[in-house]
Structure 1
Amino acid sequence: MHERGTTKLIAAALLAGALLAGCGADSSDSGGNASQAEPAVGRADAPAAEEGTAGQGKAEADSAGANTTAEAPDLRVDQRSIIYTGSITVRVDNVTTAAAQATGIASAAGGFVGSDERQSGSGADTANLTLRIPAAEFSSVVDQLSKLGVEETRGINTEDVTEEVVDLDARISVQKARVESGKKLLAQANSLDDLVMLEREVATREADLASLEAKKRRLSDLTSLSTITVVLLDPDATSAAPDDEPPGFLAGLSGGWDALKASLAVLATVLGALLPWLIALGIPAAVAVYLIRRYRRRQLPPPAESN
């Protein structure tokens, strides 16, 4: 009995040890799996976090690009687009020499002569030059031209076209994008009707773009090259200044007399133009009328004699 009891105790102790060993292994395996699962979760969350960061960075970059595109243009005084035009009248000793000097001044400033009109005779010579000068040299050239002789009149005008230039730049950019999108749609056309319609639309957009670019070139030409009209008069030439005589009876009488002379001159011109036709047609017509009347007189019976 004693041995049997001892055997039962040993068996119970072994069973308890086995049970304790199994529980420890399960606990160890559970802890190991938990420790391995945590890094897996961390690795799964890392790409999502990186993707979110990348998306946020892209959004910020797009926002920065949009802000850069929408940034207001530089409108400082030295960056504005201004058209300069001027005119100057100078009385000189020799018109031909002064005109050559004016041409040299324009060439030295990097410009050129747009037109050259000269009149001579009756003891009075005049020259009318149109100079195209770089805008940066405008004031300097005007001052040099005034020193060719005695300056009589000067006029300078400026026109700020900055807003027009900025507007044209924006419209040209938009129109270019429209042309490109139209060409992409044209390349994807699947039917003849779509092809014809898209070709017409692309042609219209290209024509609008060409018109905008032509306006931009015109403004660029006017802003980059200023225009100066130079009038050169010799000492005997009369100035083109308006007459300052006050209006009155004598002024009205003079104006009426001038109008009458002009009307008589027009009438004389008309008569002079018609006289050859009157001679060429009137004489044969008069001869024909005379012959017809003579013929009719011969055909008439003689008058009867009275008893």
Structure 2
Amino acid sequence: MRLRRVGRHRTAAVGALLALLMLAGCGSGSGSDEATSSDAGAAAPPMADRGAGEPAQGGSGTATDTRVDQRSIIYTGSLEIKVDDVEAKAREAVSAATRAGGFVGGDQRRSAAADAVAELQLRVPADRFYPVVEELARLGSQQRRQIDTQDVTEETIDLDARIATQRARVDSARRLLAQADSISDLISLENELGRREADLASLEAKKRRLGDLTALSTITVTLVGPNASTTEDEDQLGFLVGLSGGWKVFLASMTVLVTVLGAVLPWLLVFGVPLGLLWWWHRRRRRGRDTGPALVAPVGAPPPSGLAVPGEVSGAPPVPGARSAP
């Protein structure tokens, strides 16, 4: 009886221990589930707070950021404006660029009264590109406008990755150079280090160039006078347009001809006049030799052989009553 009771007590104890282990397992599982759910709840708010313009991330990889303020874009524009006073409007265009925080990259002008032309290359910050373009368009009558954009975001990211990789290669080459034991290894490592540093410098120069183009936009503005020909005038056809073009070509040709004549005239005066006088004197001297005194035959001398006497015909009979020469 006692053994049966002991066995029963042992069986009850084992069952209680198993029940406790099962309860502990359930508690740990629920705790892990709660921790997972709490972690998911903690991670959910950033996804909810993410802006509409920021792309979501998928399981296959991170999508490219499509926000404009996070992209590298090169803006270039060109304007052709007809104005009354080219010089005054050119100063206003330069002032507009400097007020926007930019500068003048190029300045070419041709002053010819109403036919004057000024071509300015302005560099302005990218965020002030469109306001400056609108301000320049109000300087006069806009004849032409062209705006181009180039997205270099992918190229910039690629350059950043290549620069980081190349810097790591340069650092590894420097470490190997410090551990070189022989002269041959030292020379080869120095050459390799120089090549890697040159590649790194080239990549960094490209990155600076892209950074300059994206930070400062380029605006080419052409200011023409009231009588200057514009792009629209060049596209027109007709008799008057052809006549005007021909007259301009004629004036340009005459200008070239007069310029050449002015360049040649000093040479003609220094060398041409003496040579002309020498040629004239030599020609006159030759004429004097050719017009010398004529020879006169003596009276009674027989005529030269082969010459017929006046009044006679070679081989003809004498005329009756004609008197021969004594």
TM-score w.r.t. the length of structure 2 is: 0.56
Q: Equivalences for 1:61-210 in 2 at 5 Å? A: 74-210=65-201
Deviation at 1:115, TM superposition (A): 1.4
SS in 1 for 2:171: helix
Deviation at 1:129, TM superposition (A): 1.0
> Identity across aligned pairs (percent)?
55
Q: Which residue of 1 aligns with 2:228?
A: 238
Contact 2:120–2:220 (8 Å) recurs in 1: yes
CA change 1:231–1:265 in 2 (3 A) is: closer
Query: C-alpha distance in 2, partners of 1:140/1:102?
Result: 13
Contact 1:105–1:141 (8 Å) recurs in 2: yes
Deviation at 1:90, TM superposition (A): 1.9
CA change 1:210–1:255 in 2 (3 A) is: same
Gaps in structure 1 of 5+ consecutive residues: 1-69, 287-307
Residue type of the partner of 2:139? L
Deviation at 1:232, TM superposition (A): 1.6
CA RMSD of aligned residues (A): 4.2
Deviation at 1:237, TM superposition (A): 3.2
CA change 1:105–1:185 in 2 (3 A) is: same
Q: Which residue of 1 aligns with 2:43?
A: none
Q: Pick 1 or 2: higher relative contact order, CA cutoff 8 A, min separation 6.
A: 1
TM-score w.r.t. the length of structure 1 is: 0.59
CA change 1:277–1:96 in 2 (3 A) is: closer
CA change 1:244–1:152 in 2 (3 A) is: closer
Residues 47-86 of structure 1, C-alpha deviations (whole Å, 9 max, x = no match): xxxxxxxxxxxxxxxxxxxxxxx96664422211000000
Match of residue 216, structure 1, among 197, 207, 223: 207
SS in 2 for 1:243: helix
Residues 88-116 of structure 1, C-alpha deviations (whole Å, 9 max, x = no match): 12222322221221111111111111112
Gaps in structure 2 of 5+ consecutive residues: 1-60, 277-326
Query: C-alpha distance in 2, partners of 1:261/1:103?
Result: 33
CA change 1:137–1:258 in 2 (3 A) is: closer
Residue type of the partner of 1:170? A
SS in 1 for 2:105: strand
CA change 1:247–1:167 in 2 (3 A) is: farther
Deviation at 1:260, TM superposition (A): 11
Deviation at 1:156, TM superposition (A): 0.6
SS in 1 for 2:229: coil
Q: Which residue of 1 aligns with 2:5?
A: none
Query: C-alpha distance in 2, partners of 1:96/1:83?
Result: 29
After alignment, is 199-208 or 263-272 more displaced?
263-272
Structure with the higher fraction of residues in helix conformation: 1
Q: Equivalences for 1:258-273 in 2 at 5 Å? A: none
Runs of 4+ in 1 over 6 A off after TM superposition: 70-73, 254-286
